[in-house]
Amino acid sequence: MPKFEDLENQLGIQFKNQELLIQAFCHRSYLNEHPDFLLPHNERLEFLGDAVIELVVTEYLFLEFPEKEEGILTCWRAALVNSKTLSKIAEELDFGKYLLLSKGEAKEAEKKGKSYLEILANTFEAFVGALYLDKGYKACKDFLYKHLIKELPAIIKNKSFIDAKSRFQEIAQEKLRITPTYKVLKEWGPDHDKHFIAGVYLENELVAKGQGSSKQEAEEEAAKKALKKKRWE
């Protein structure tokens, strides 16, 4: 069992109920190999944390940028709360060191591939859910302002809030007068672990394929690859 006291000391946050903290790092797979473990997995905390993060970020953007319209604020929020950003912060905070995973998942985690990054992002959300239950909204706000909101200037500067699908559509319409279309080419896996492959088309031409844990993620990945293939970046 990892020493969660080390994480508390690192973050400067002491949980009243440390079981909430431990639960936040407990992946579903861990319970398959440890059926006698006294705590549930972290998916309910993840559900709660996702909502808390969205509220904190929305409140911040609303108050800090009164001159900006809803559309741009929505794009900024999406770039801040997506799995790529959350997994990046989780890595910076060394969350991977505290994950409770099955042996198989732990072996996969060593490769630091896409599934591992998704687990990290989900764990970050679960941690915020645990923090909310243990210390309330203000503690979550302080934590997210310190570790997540700091990413916003780079997101704005690099225009990474403009998603690949929107960019590909804009250029395709400008250059070819064609609106790209998307089609799910393959899907597999149980409900809690779905995978999709989507293709992006310009009329009948299959430009690129993308894979993701949701249709939207697969389509976004396909659009990124299509931008590269067409050299429209």
Provide the annotated active-site residues: 50, 125
Residue count (the chain): 233
Sole residue written with tokens 């679960």: 126
Between CA 7 and CA 10 the distance in angstroms is 5
Distance of CA 187 to the CA centre of its chain: 20
Q: Which contiguous run of DSSP H or E holds residue 210?
A: strand 205-212
Phi-psi bin for 26: left (phi > 0), alpha (psi -120 to 50), beta?
Answer: beta
Cα(116)–Cα(105) distance, integer angstroms = 8
